[in-house]
Amino acid sequence: MLGRAIRVVLLGLLLWAALRQNDVPLWGEAAAVAGVLLASGAAWGYFRTTYAHRLLPSLALVSVLLALAVAAQLTGFGGPALVLWCGCGILALERLPLAAAVPVTSVALASFAIFNKDVWLTTASTVAGLALAGYVARLDSEARGSAQRLLAQERAAREAEAESAALSERARIAREIHDVLAHSLSAQMVHLEAARLLLERDASREQVLERVVAARGMARDGLAETRQALSALRGELTPLEEFLTDLVSVTDGGEVTVTGERRALPAEASQAVRRVAQEAMTNVRKHAQGAKVRVRLDYSEHQVTLDVRDKGGRPGELAASGGGYGLLGMRERAELLGGSLDAGPDEEGFVVTLKVPV
């Protein structure tokens, strides 16, 4: 704002100084107006080139302005010449690098001081004021430039943060969809493949029907899990303890134990516990049919621990199916949260332990 105000004042003074002389003939006034227009064009080009940080064209244009001032002085237009010298001094100091601005300003203000007809003290005060005005305009321009750069950096940082948050949310949604579908479809595959094997062995109709009904149940459970996952994405989660109890209730002899001070968990941690519990129960159905399952959920000060153990049971008809990618995906999910997942056999059966910081 300060630099713009200075430029408007200088242009007004230039026009006033050029047209206030009454003893100038008509052609002289026309020449004065043409000179003002030429100076305005050179000044406009000067602002454009300095804005683009083009030093040599900027110096060439300010030299044109200084030459116009000399021409005005030689043709009797002393007032416009003084205005041009003042303007060049201020604008050079405002917009040029200091190494170039100081010589240009010195030449312009020295010319002003030489041809100014005021007493020396007034002239010196005017020169000092003009130099100060140019320096203040320079500080104002630098401050506005710094503010614009900071604003651009902040805008870029916000855009990057928003993009990162969007990508993170997409990844979370993709993990939820994958985990739900993998759990549900793998469970259905177990029962349908078992039904196929029974048909190949000419098993009884009741045995095949049992497997088909179980697969239908898995499909129904998968639909319920999908709805629950969508609710989780909206932040609407059922209590974790209730979820684990419902999950284990389908197993004979299943037991859920909760220790520590119960509290609400972050959405990502809660979902990790749920998905690992689901995957562990799927593995029990595949590899340890009829096993007794003990699930322990422990709330500590800085982390939550899920421990799923099975005891007894027998290998299912599809115990060799699958490549172990379910637990691998759960381990990756835990590591993304800064936690860990351990899975392997123990003395009694198989144990899956998840630790997630909260």
User: Which residues are CB-contacts of 229 (< 8 A; sequence separation ≥ 6)?
Assistant: 176, 177, 179, 180
DSSP 1: -
At residue 252, what are phi and psi to the nearest 5 degrees? -65, 130
> Which long-range contacts does 198-201 make (Cβ < 8 Å, 24+ apart)?
none
The predicted structure's pLDDT at residue 81: 80
Residue type, 175: R
Neighbours of 254 (CB within 10 A): 19
Place of tokens 């709805």: 227
Dist CA 229 CA 263 (whole Å): 20
Residue whose token pair is 């199916």: 321
Q: What is the DSSP letter of 117?
A: -
CATH homologous superfamily, domain 239-358: Histidine kinase-like ATPase, C-terminal domain (3.30.565.10)
Predicted confidence at residue 297, as pLDDT, reads 93
Q: With 0-12 CB in 10 A as exposed, 13-18 as middle and 19+ as buried, what is 86? A: buried
For residue 296, what pLDDT is reported?
93
Q: pTM for the complete prediction?
A: 0.46
- Cβ-proximal residues to 205 (8 Å cutoff; 6+ apart), any chain: none
Half-sphere exposure of 205 (CA within 13 A, CB side): 0
Backbone angles phi, psi at 342, to 5 degrees: -120, 135
Could you give the CA distance from residue 224 to residue 244 in angstroms, rounded to a whole number? Answer: 14
327 near 352, Cβ under 8 Å? yes
Q: Are 147 and 13 in contact (CB under 8 A)?
A: no
Q: What is the pLDDT of residue 304?
A: 93
Q: Decide if 17 contacts 72 (C-beta within 8 A).
A: no
- Residue spans per domain, the chain: 2-117, 239-358
Residue with tokens 């107006």: 33
Cα atoms found within 13 Å of the Cα of residue 137, Cβ hemisphere only: 24
DSSP 266: P
Query: What Rg, from alpha-carbon coordinates, does the chain have?
Result: 42
User: Which residue type sits at 300?
Assistant: S
Please give the chain's pLDDT, 358 residues, in tens: 555 666 566 566 655 655 555 455 556 567 767 777 888 788 888 888 888 888 898 889 888 888 888 888 888 777 778 888 888 888 888 888 888 888 988 888 888 888 888 788 888 888 898 888 888 888 888 888 888 888 889 999 998 888 888 787 777 677 667 766 766 777 778 778 888 888 888 777 888 888 888 788 777 767 766 776 666 666 656 788 888 888 887 676 688 999 988 888 887 788 888 888 888 887 787 777 777 889 999 999 889 999 998 887 666 544 444 444 467 777 887 888 889 999 888 777 889 999 999 8
Q: Is 341 helix (H, G, I), strand (E, B) or coil?
A: strand
Contact 176, 231 (CB under 8 A): no
Tell me the two tokens of residue 16. 């006033």
